[in-house]
Structure 1
Amino acid sequence: MSPLNTIYRRLFIKKLYYICLFILFIIILFNKTINNKINELSILYNYSLTYQNLDMNLTNICESFLNIEPNQLVARQYENYSTKQHLLYSWKSMNDCKLFRKSFQYLLWINKEELNYPIAFAFTVYENIDRIARLLRLLYRPYNLYCIHVDRNTSNEFYQSIVDLAKCFGNNIEIIKRSHSVSVKWGYFSVLDSFLKCTQIMLNNTKIQWKYVMNINGKELPLRTNWELIKALKALNGANVIGCTTKNGPKKRIPRRKPSFNVTWIKGSFLVALRKEFVREEQHLMKIPDEMFFSTLAYNPQLFAPGACREFYPPNENDNQSTFVSRFVIWKPKRCATGKRYHTICMLGVQHLYNLTKRQELFANKFHNGFYDAAYDCLEYWILKKMKNERLTGRLDPTFNPQFYANLHCSKNHV
């Protein structure tokens, strides 16, 4: 073989070598692209499941209840209907943390408005770790602040499960120490005390500059997404959300010793949304029963509590401006469609779903575990669906109207 042929042969082999390398590179790149597409499809599939948390059977049932008010005969079929087999994600122990995190990581879409308006949430809990986990999943954002008070009457195992759950979410969840917790009894100061312990921790937190605090229990669900909550709170124009019912009563709840200043005792609700400045002020005031504490401060403007209403506006069904927007609650003697009450409060069921989607309140109370579980699951599905649409469109639900909150009596006339 001549020297020239040898050179041509070497050049050909070298060229062939580079061509093979190029082809190999293309194959690797193609496989990587295909794998990425498969992973994207898998993520999108899990993403869609996360936002419904139900299999298709219960999803179809929920869509029906959310869009059409059922007759009582149909609704009763779901009174004791167990939905556990339809749930895709639930919390049982810390061993579920990795999987459970996947079930809410896609919920954590952050927009600038939410990031710049952190909210604080104070939980009072005593049972049902799974529902607490699901409630926290709906409300959790890494820029908000959370505090959980676990009833002292609960077991150490339950307390530890709450600690584990908090660790699974993030370090912006504070747990009241076991030694500092109280035994909560309905209608007594202990209800208020558990909340005050949380607010003290929150006021001492300098990392998260929260604007409002809301107290939450494990038997309710939000009717608003986090973004909607922020829009509603901003629309309040610095007012608090504190319900009121009657003046100077009931007498058995009024302190026997008359204060040295002028005050009118007001009965209202313990379930509230409070300005940070209001919370800082009430830390220094006298302790009175839970259902009179906030309402008395809120409707005595001469006490100058930040955000207090200048006039007393009792609830009136014919006056939307007097709506108690903190909670949707059906109190006795109003008709209870499910026929079951807990502390004079109607237990919600699938009969209420259609109406709930059209309400302006921030939360719905109460849901009882084992009683119309489908109602809880379907309302959760509805909120998750709204959160999904916010993420996909970058817009709020078209039915949400922040102006409703701006038109409330107290939003227009407060300290």
Structure 2
Amino acid sequence: MSQLRTTKAGLVVCGMICAFFFLYLRNPSPEEAEEEPPTPDVVECGFYPDELCSALFEGKKAAPQIAQFCKPSPKSEMLAHLRTPGNCSRMSRGLHFIGRPLSAEEGNFSLAYIIHVQKELAMFVRLLRAIYAPQNVYCVHIDVKAPKKLKSAMQTFVDCFENVFISSQTQKVAHGGLRRLQAELGCMRDLTHSMFHWHYVMNLCGQEFPIKTNKEIIRYIRTKWKGKNITPGVIPPLNTKPKTGQSSSKLSLDENTYTSPNTRFKQKPPHNLTVYSGSPYYALTRKFVGFVLTDPRAKDMLQWSKYIHSPEQHYWVTLNQLKDAPGATPDAGWEGNIHATKWRTEDGDGHKGCTGHDAQDTCVYGLGDLPWLIQSPALFARFAPPTDPLVVVCLERWHRLKALQQAEVLAEPHWPFPQESHFNSQPHH
């Protein structure tokens, strides 16, 4: 009996707290009312209404406080769809996958993706359904040390899509290193032999999420780059330790990294190559991929990469500087916004700080970073744990709505996500 009273008391307290924030958000103080328009209603704890996500994107002051009491639904519903073997069509519909090109422009320009997965099946599913299009093709590299259950579930899942496959080669891939390069080159070999004719390949990890739609990504590539490769990077300045990011002043290299044409590390680079440093993320043309897989300079550069730290920060950008490489961009520098990163050193200049927490000088995004993310010119952002799950949930709902608004075909009933609102949701007890 006492336990029942305790449970009831807890519910009353939670109800009072949520009611307080509900009233606070509906009735801001006079000072706040003058500064910004009223925020949409938000109700009980236990689910995330779309109004809350909208308030977070608009930067409403009370929204983050309410969000800590209104967490997203557990992963069980998503994972339940993955445990329905033998019915791929029902799984695809239940997970809201879009099964047709949303425009002729997208249908005529296919992308290939290389996706590294080590854990977090649910996050990978969110990523895939956000970037999925039937005209694209996806090579999934599962880390050799990944749990057997994950590998089995991944195989069952990708078998439902003819344009999604697991790489024929597996590597033990940590954050970087030669094995990451080998894993991506293995996927590239598989992609060149696939039945899909793709135009560009991009690389991601399973904990990333797009902040641009498929249509926006291909328009950026086609109109801005016009058949050129995107490999942001520069020659590291002498006597400095720059940080790999999107600006030349924020590049961080390990002391064992090859740092300049005039400072040789262990072994001289093959073919007298000038080694550049940059982002490990890229968008490469199909012809450039063929060049990397066959050219002696690329093969020798791969062998030389055994002796340097984080070779993925050097390999692609260095080869893309060769003037005879297909789609080369020798003078591009840091151009090419592929990956959004909030650097702590740019606080007050490039952004207004991190509302999540800092990890190795970069921001692990919090709820207050959502307005910055959707305004970023970059194509993708990484959400490493412990990112607040509501950040990704809200971004996913915003991304799907945006993609459907841009669509030039009639949406099928299962494409939109179910609307979650205090108008059509019952209180959870």
| TM-score higher than 0.5 | yes
Specify whether residues 94 and 70 from structure 1 end up closer, same or farther in structure 2 by C-alpha distance, changes over 3 A only: same
Pick from 112, 116, 120 the counterpart of residue 124 of structure 1: 116
Q: Within the alignment, does 1:69 sit opposite 2:53 as a pair?
A: no
Residue identity opposite 1:134 in structure 2: R
Residue 237 (structure 1) shift: 0.9
Specify whether residues 83 and 283 from structure 1 end up closer, same or farther in structure 2 by C-alpha distance, changes over 3 A only: same
Q: Within the alignment, does 1:333 sit opposite 2:345 as a pair?
A: yes
Residue 259 (structure 1) shift: 3.2
Structure richer in helix, relative to its length: 1
Q: Distance in 2 between matches of 1:342 and 1:99?
A: 40
Aligned partners of 1:80 and 1:373 also within 8 Å:
no
Q: What is aligned with 2:227?
A: 238
Q: Distance in 2 between matches of 1:260 and 1:393?
A: 51
Q: Distance in 1 between matches of 2:100 and 2:405?
A: 11
Q: Distance in 1 between matches of 2:368 and 2:409?
A: 30
Q: What is aligned with 1:357?
A: 374
Q: Distance in 1 between matches of 2:69 and 2:156?
A: 30
Q: Distance in 1 between matches of 2:395 and 2:269?
A: 45
Q: What is aligned with 1:374?
A: 390
Counterpart of 1:202 in 2: which secondary structure?
helix
Aligned partners of 1:82 and 1:370 also within 8 Å:
no
Pick from 201, 205, 212 the counterpart of residue 217 of structure 1: 205
Aligned length: 324
Pick from 387, 395, 399 the counterpart of residue 403 of structure 2: 387
Residue 258 (structure 1) shift: 1.3
Q: Deviations over 1:239-272 (max 9, x none)?
A: 1121115526746222532135342211111111
Superposed CA RMSD in Å reads 2.8
Q: Deviations over 1:304-326 (max 9, x none)?
A: 22222232534xxxxxxx4x311
- 1:176-215 to 2 correspondence within 5 Å? 176-177=167-168, 180-205=169-194, 207-215=195-203
Q: Distance in 2 between matches of 1:296 and 1:373?
A: 37
Kindly, what percent of the aligned residue pairs are identical? 23
Mean Cα deviation higher: 242-251 or 277-286: 242-251
Residue 390 (structure 1) shift: 2.3
Specify whether residues 78 and 196 from structure 1 end up closer, same or farther in structure 2 by C-alpha distance, changes over 3 A only: farther
Aligned partners of 1:90 and 1:134 also within 8 Å:
no
Q: What is aligned with 2:289?
A: 279
Residue identity opposite 2:278 in structure 1: G
Q: What is aligned with 1:309?
A: 329
- 1:224-303 to 2 correspondence within 5 Å? 224-235=212-223, 236-247=225-236, 250=253, 252-254=256-258, 256-284=266-294, 285=298, 286-287=301-302, 288=305, 289-298=311-320, 300-302=321-323
Counterpart of 1:123 in 2: which secondary structure?
strand
Q: What is aligned with 2:162?
A: 171
Counterpart of 1:133 in 2: which secondary structure?
helix
Unaligned runs of at least 5 residues, structure 2: 1-45, 242-252, 259-264, 306-310, 348-352, 411-429
Aligned partners of 2:47 and 2:71 also within 8 Å:
no
Residue 109 (structure 1) shift: 3.6
Q: Distance in 1 between matches of 2:145 and 2:122?
A: 19
Q: Deviations over 1:292-345 (max 9, x none)?
A: 1112122x344x22222232534xxxxxxx4x3111112353345135244543
Q: What is aligned with 1:11?
A: none
Residue identity opposite 2:125 in structure 1: A
Specify whether residues 296 and 277 from structure 1 end up closer, same or farther in structure 2 by C-alpha distance, changes over 3 A only: same
Q: Distance in 2 between matches of 1:260 and 1:98?
A: 51
TM-score by length of 2: 0.68
Q: Within the alignment, does 1:59 sit opposite 2:63 as a pair?
A: no
Q: Distance in 2 between matches of 1:80 and 1:369?
A: 19
Residue 213 (structure 1) shift: 0.3
Residue identity opposite 1:60 in structure 2: E
Q: What is aligned with 1:407?
A: none
Pick from 102, 108, 122 the counterpart of residue 99 of structure 2: 108
Specify whether residues 115 and 166 from structure 1 end up closer, same or farther in structure 2 by C-alpha distance, changes over 3 A only: same
Counterpart of 1:241 in 2: which secondary structure?
coil
Residue identity opposite 1:173 in structure 2: V
Counterpart of 2:49 in 1: which secondary structure?
helix
Residue identity opposite 2:123 in structure 1: R
Residue identity opposite 1:108 in structure 2: G
Q: Distance in 2 between matches of 1:271 and 1:80?
A: 36
Aligned partners of 2:52 and 2:67 also within 8 Å:
no
Specify whether residues 185 and 57 from structure 1 end up closer, same or farther in structure 2 by C-alpha distance, changes over 3 A only: closer
Aligned partners of 1:146 and 1:172 also within 8 Å:
yes
Counterpart of 2:191 in 1: which secondary structure?
helix
Mean Cα deviation higher: 237-246 or 370-379: 237-246
Specify whether residues 308 and 183 from structure 1 end up closer, same or farther in structure 2 by C-alpha distance, changes over 3 A only: same
Residue 80 (structure 1) shift: 8.7
Aligned partners of 2:139 and 2:187 also within 8 Å:
yes
Q: Deviations over 1:334-366 (max 9, x none)?
A: 34513524454321122121122222211122x
Aligned partners of 1:91 and 1:133 also within 8 Å:
no
- 1:145-156 to 2 correspondence within 5 Å? 145-156=137-148
Aligned partners of 1:78 and 1:372 also within 8 Å:
no
Aligned partners of 1:145 and 1:208 also within 8 Å:
yes
Q: Distance in 2 between matches of 1:258 and 1:105?
A: 52
Specify whether residues 331 and 279 from structure 1 end up closer, same or farther in structure 2 by C-alpha distance, changes over 3 A only: farther
Residue identity opposite 1:58 in structure 2: P
Instruction: Give the number of the structure whose alpha-carbon radius of gyration is greater.
Output: 1
Residue identity opposite 1:291 in structure 2: Q
Q: What is aligned with 2:154?
A: 162
Q: Distance in 2 between matches of 1:390 and 1:270?
A: 30
* Larger relative contact order (CA 8 Å, sep ≥ 6): 1
